[in-house]
Amino acid sequence: MDMTQEIARRRTFAIISHPDAGKTTLTEKFLLYGGAIAQAGVVKGKKNARAATSDWMEIEKQRGISVTSSVMQFQYEGYCINILDTPGHQDFSEDTYRTLMAADSAVMVIDAAKGVEAQTRKLFKVCVMRDIPIFTFINKMDREARDPFELCQEIEKELGIDTYAVNWPIGCGKEFQGVYDRAKGKIIHFSSNGGAKAATATEVDLGDPGLDGLIGPRLHGQLQEDVELLDGASCAFDLDRVRHGKLSPVFFGSALTNFGVEPFLEDFLRMTTAPLPRRAGEETVEATDPAFSAFVFKIQANMNKAHRDRIAFMRVVSGKFEADQEVYHVQGGKALKLSRPQQLMAAEREIISEAYAGDIIGVFDPGIFSIGDTLCAKGKKFRFDPIPTFAPEHFQRIRSMDTMKRKQFLKGVEQIAQEGAIQIFKPPYTGMEEVIVGVVGTLQFDVLAYRLRSEYNVELHTEGLPYCYLRMVGNEEPVKEDELNLGDAKLVEDYKGHQIVLFTSFWSIGWVQERNKDLILLEFGGGKEE
Ligand code: G4P
């Protein structure tokens, strides 16, 4: 297969959901179809035993949640699929947002009994920001579910995107019979014999009285009514709108019992795109450009405690990557060889020798990469557009309990900040005994305390701070705290020396601006702000 064909068969997407909607179960079914795992329970087991993929973080085991996002690759019907997993826990970090930057589309898993939940809403906003296509899988139809029309309306209303039901459920709970594929005019009827691929597709005319025998007269009548309503009321299917993130194709099914998962995967792979181009200032870098390029979207240290390693995850944007090939690190201004590139295959990491546009690779990082960095073929020097920084929403003041451990404390905090899991600030005129930490999700505070203890042998003293908004100071000359009327807001500096003001409420931003007309306050990154 040549490079163009390799790239054309790649699909790179993120799965997003509120915790417990069934993301892990669905991912596992995908992997099963692709033959990447031999039996169910490998991915799920991870959640409880948390063995292979992320044993580096004890906190995940203790709390049974996925703190970091991981990547999996598998093959299915000629496609090479990269799934980016996003942590579903209500507390999450910028990592989650950045993972979405590396994806070309997103699959949103929704619990049919619960509809749109808080976490989905938040992740969804990031997808909208990038206009990436969103596919909806309404899961758990084998349980009592809400009315499918109501669910679609909720998605439209809450998330502000049109929906198109690609298939329609026939009953729910114990009566869940399968789905009606609208384009094909087929009923995919399921018989539950233990969950394996037990679906039979029956081509039918909706008016066919024979259908009564298959799904019963009541559900048959209901389906006829629903489909009539759907055909009359819903907007037309438009692949172009799907690909611009304006219309979300909706599928119904049950990941646990394997109903509707494979038809979903097949349609999804057809509708979603091959690796998309990325912007680098004035240039657009196409996936099929034969020269290799990639950007770093995530850095993770100490994945293996014994080795104190640090891995930079990068998305290959164009061309082909070959191990030991020399590449140019634009931000570092140096040519280098990427050592021991690896990929995560289901539950295992493996060393790879080549990768193509759309793939995600992890390389050992001797401490030279930062998030957003560009790597490209020698002779090229473009920079991919920066990955937005998300404004932290929670703040703590932290210091080492043991003042003798100041050095380790600083090293640890700076390292973890470089990975992008936390942002650090310092009050002006102070030494480095204490640091103000800002995070997007409060779980990161626990992760920080845990990692400082286990990796740097530092116990933290922490104090919660009431701030929840921040603005960059845009004045040319540095401003002075004693010349400003800041009320309960606070002036700090980030580690690049930028002045930042922390506010306790949205309202107080206006209050401060009102009283300090010469102070220029600039918005900071993406994220909340509604
Ligand atoms: P998450 O990754 O989105 O957090 O969800 P996960 O797949 O772990 O699923 C959460 C729970 O929902 C699990 O039950 C799982 O078995 C169940 N589930 C997932 N898909 C379906 C479905 O289609 N139908 C039904 N009825 N249940 C589903 P659990 O009790 O928390 O875990 P376990 O004891 O099954 O391992």
The best mutation among 18, 25, 111 to test binding of ligand 1, ranked by most ligand atoms within 8 Å of the C-beta, falls on 25
CB 169 within 8 A of CB 182: no
Quote the CA–CA distance of 245 and 239 in Å, as a whole number.
Answer: 10
Quote the CA–CA distance of 185 and 178 in Å, as a whole number.
Answer: 13
In Å, what is the CA distance from 475 to each residue of 20, 479, 518?
Answer: 46, 7, 8
Higher confidence at residue 501 or residue 99? 501
How would DSSP label each residue in 112-136? Answer: TTTBS-HHHHHHHHHHHHHT--EEE
CB of 169 shorter than 6 A to ligand 1: no
CA torsion angle for 397, 424, 422, 452 (degrees, to 10)?
A: -60
Tokens of 308: 């104190």
Nearest CA to ligand 1 atom 34: 44
Give the pLDDT score at 464: 95
Cross-strand bridge partners of residue 296: 314
In the reported structure, the alpha carbon of residue 28 is separated from the centroid of ligand 1 by a whole-number distance in angstroms of 11
CB 96 within 8 A of CB 87: yes
Could you give the 3-state DSSP secondary structure of residue 387? coil
The best mutation among 172, 254, 256, 262 to test binding of ligand 1, ranked by most ligand atoms within 8 Å of the C-beta, falls on 256
How would DSSP label each residue in 233-271? Answer: HSPPP-HHHHHTTSEEEEEE-BTTTTBSHHHHHHHHHHH
Higher confidence at residue 160 or residue 112? 112
Quote the CA–CA distance of 145 and 153 in Å, as a whole number.
Answer: 15
Lowest mean pLDDT among 40-49, 90-99, 309-318, 499-508: 40-49
Q: Which of 216, 205, 199 is nearest to 260 (CA)?
A: 199
| pLDDT band per the 50, 70, 90 thresholds, residue 193 | low
* CB atoms near residue 60 (< 10 Å): 21
Sorted by where each starts, the structural domains of the chain and their CATH numbers stand as 3-271 (3.40.50.300), 278-377 (2.40.30.10), 394-522 (3.30.70.3280)
Q: Can you give the C-alpha Rg of the chain in angstroms?
A: 25
**CA of 18, closest atom in ligand 1:** 3
Nearest CA to ligand 1 atom 29: 20
Evaluate the CA torsion angle 381, 384, 390, 391 in order and state its sign: positive
Quote the CA–CA distance of 194 and 175 in Å, as a whole number.
Answer: 16
Strands 105-111 and 162-165: unpaired
Residue corresponding to tokens 């795992």: 37
How many CA atoms, within 13 angstroms, populate the side-chain half-sphere of residue 405? 17
Residue 176 is classified by DSSP as: -
Nearest CA to ligand 1 atom 21: 256
CB of 19 shorter than 6 A to ligand 1: yes
Lowest mean pLDDT among 80-89, 182-191, 471-480: 80-89
In the reported structure, the alpha carbon of residue 74 is separated from the centroid of ligand 1 by a whole-number distance in angstroms of 22
Higher confidence at residue 463 or residue 300? 463
In Å, what is the CA distance from 133 to each residue of 29, 94, 139, 455, 466?
Answer: 22, 21, 19, 39, 37
Quote the CA–CA distance of 485 and 506 in Å, as a whole number.
Answer: 17
Quote the CA–CA distance of 20 and 117 in Å, as a whole number.
Answer: 11
CB of 179 shorter than 6 A to ligand 1: no
- Mean per-residue pLDDT, 199-217: 79
In the reported structure, the alpha carbon of residue 23 is separated from the centroid of ligand 1 by a whole-number distance in angstroms of 8
Give the pLDDT score at 413: 92
Quote the CA–CA distance of 52 and 42 in Å, as a whole number.
Answer: 9
Residues in the chain: 530
Give the pLDDT score at 66: 44
Quote the CA–CA distance of 528 and 530 in Å, as a whole number.
Answer: 6
The best mutation among 15, 17, 20, 140 to test binding of ligand 1, ranked by most ligand atoms within 8 Å of the C-beta, falls on 20
CB of 117 shorter than 6 A to ligand 1: no
Q: Is the pLDDT of residue 304 over 70?
A: no
How far separated are the first and last CA of the chain, in Å rounded?
A: 48
Give the pLDDT score at 249: 97
SS3 content of the chain, % helix, strand, coil (to 5): 30, 30, 40
**Which segments within 194-347 are labelled E, that is strand?**
199-203, 247-252, 278-280, 283-285, 293-301, 310-318, 320-322, 326-329, 334-337, 342-345
CB of 25 shorter than 6 A to ligand 1: yes
Lowest mean pLDDT among 90-104, 296-310, 500-514: 296-310
Q: Which residues are CB-neighbours of 217 under 8 A, at least 6 positions away?
A: none
Residue 6 is classified by DSSP as: H
pLDDT averaged over every residue in the chain: 83
